[in-house]
Amino acid sequence: MLGLNSKDFRLLLLVAALALLAPFILNPFPADSAMAQFNAGYPDLMQRFVIFGVFAIGFNILFGLTGYLSFGHAAFLGVGSYSAVWMFKLLSMNVIPAILLAVITAGLFALLIGYISLRRSGIYFAILTLAFAQMSYALAYSVLTPVTGGETGLQLALDDPRVLGAAQSAQGNIPVPGLFGLEMRDAAQLNLGDWVFTFSAGYYFSAVVMLIAFYLSIRIFRSPFGMMLRAVKSNQQRLNYTGLNARPYTLAAFVISGMYAGLAGGLMAAMDPLAGAERMFWTASGEVVLMAILGGVGTLIGPVLGAGLIKYMENIISKINADILHSWFAFLPDGLEDFIVSIMYPFIGKGWHLTLGIIFMAVVIFLPGGLVEGGQRIARLFRRRKSGEAAKDDDAKQSTVAE
C-alpha cells in the first residue's frame, strides 16, 4: 500500500491516528482538575509538536542515515521562516506559496553550505556547519536588517505591497495566513462534560504536512538511495575503495534535510507570521540533535517522539511553579510538604533543563537507541511473558494427557 511494506504502512497509520486524535490524547484530564496542568491539547503546542517533528525527521535523514552530525540546521529553519514571511508580505496570505518558497530557498541555501562543509567529515564537518549557522544568525540579527528586521524580527505591516491579496482586512487589521479562505487560526471546540477539546485548522494543516514528510522519509529510508547513505555511515572509506563517490549522495542528503528544516520554518511562519534571528541561533540546532538522540537516531518515528518530549517539557513542565507544588502536596504535614517542594522545585519551572539533562544522560547510558529502543524492550518483555505462559499451558496439557 502506497509503496510501503506492511510494517511501514502500519507505522504510517499509527502516526496518522495519533495526529488525528491528538486533541483527545493530549487532554486526558478535566479542564478544572488539578492535573489539567499536564494537558497539552491546545492548538499552539500541538502545532509545535508536529512542526518540530518535521524538523527532526529531516535532521534524521542526514544524521541517522549518513552519520554526519550538523550543528547548523537552525540556519535552514530561519531561512524558511524569513522566506515565508516575505511571501506573505509581497504575494499572498495563502500558506501554500509561502511554504513552497521556504522549502526551495532552504534547499538552495543547504546546497551552498553542504557543498563547502562536506569537504570535511566528523568533528570538522560539525564545526563548519555550526560556523555557517552562527554567521547566518549574525547576518540576520545585524547586517541584513532591511531584509530580516534585525533584532525585532520580520513582521507583517498594514502597508505591505501584497499583489494577490488585500493589505488590510475588512476591519482594517493585518490579514492572517490561510488556505483558500480557511484561516490558520480558525478553531472549533467540543465540550464533553468537564473536558474541552479544541480542533484547530492550523494544527490539522501542519499535521497533514507532517504525515506527508513522514511518508517521504520512509520511502527515502527504504530506497536504494537510503541504502547508499547507510553504506556511507557504515564505512565511507571502504565505499570509496569500491570506486563509488559518496559525496553526491551525502550532498543530496544534506539538501533534503535542509529542505525539511525549511519546511518546518515555513510552517512556523504560517502559524504565526513572524520570523526572528533567534530561530537561527546555535541552541536551536542543538535542540534538534537532542530530539533525534532522545527519540532514536536512525529510526523512523524516534525523532518525532523526541520532538514531542522536548516541546512538552518546555511548555508544560516549565510552567509548574512552587505554588502549584504546594497545592499538590497540601494534604501533607507542613514540614513534610515544604521538604518535598524544596526537593522537586529545582527540577521544574525554570529548572526544567536540569530534568531534560538527566533524562538525556539516562537515555544515552541505558537506552542508546532512544525512546524507540525502550518501547522495543518493553514489547520483547511482554512477548517473552506470553511465550512463557503459552509454554506452561502446553506442559500442563501434556501432563494431563499423560495421566
pTM of the predicted protein model:
0.91
Residue with cell 522537586: 344
Asked if the model's pLDDT at residue 403 lies above 60, the reply is no
Residue with cell 535542540: 287
Residue with the larger pLDDT of the pair 1 and 50: 50
- Whether 45 and 200 have beta carbons less than 8 Å apart is answered as no
Q: Which candidate, 51, 4, 56, 100, places its Cα nearest to that of 208?
A: 51
- In the chain, the percentage of residues whose pLDDT exceeds 90 is 51
HEC readout, 129-198? HHHHHHHHHHHHHHHCHHHHCHHHCEECCCCCCCCCCCCCCCCCCCCCCEECCEECCCEEEEEECCEEEE
Asked if the model's pLDDT at residue 259 lies above 80, the reply is yes
Pick the range with the lowest mean pLDDT from 163-172, 178-187, 346-355, 358-367: 163-172
Q: pLDDT (tens digit, 9 = 90+) per residue, 294-332?
A: 999 989 999 999 999 999 998 888 888 888 888 888 888
pLDDT of residue 199: 92
Q: Which candidate, 63, 75, 58, places its Cα nearest to that of 259?
A: 58
pLDDT band at 226 (very low <50, low <70, confident <90, very high): very high
Pick the range with the lowest mean pLDDT from 51-55, 240-244, 392-396: 392-396
Sequence letter at residue 99:
I
Q: Which candidate, 256, 290, 299, places its Cα nearest to that of 364?
A: 290
In this structure, what C-alpha cell is assigned to residue 48?
509545535
| Rounded distance between C-alpha atoms, residue 112 and residue 258, angstroms | 11
Sequence letter at residue 116:
I
| Rounded distance between C-alpha atoms, residue 313 and residue 178, angstroms | 29
pLDDT of residue 399: 62
CA-CA-CA-CA torsion sign (86, 91, 95, 100): negative
pLDDT band at 215 (very low <50, low <70, confident <90, very high): very high
Q: Give me the mean pLDDT over the 26-50 stretch.
A: 87
Geometric angle at alpha carbon 26, from 21 and 306, rounded to 5°? 95
Q: Which candidate, 278, 251, 348, places its Cα nearest to that of 136?
A: 278
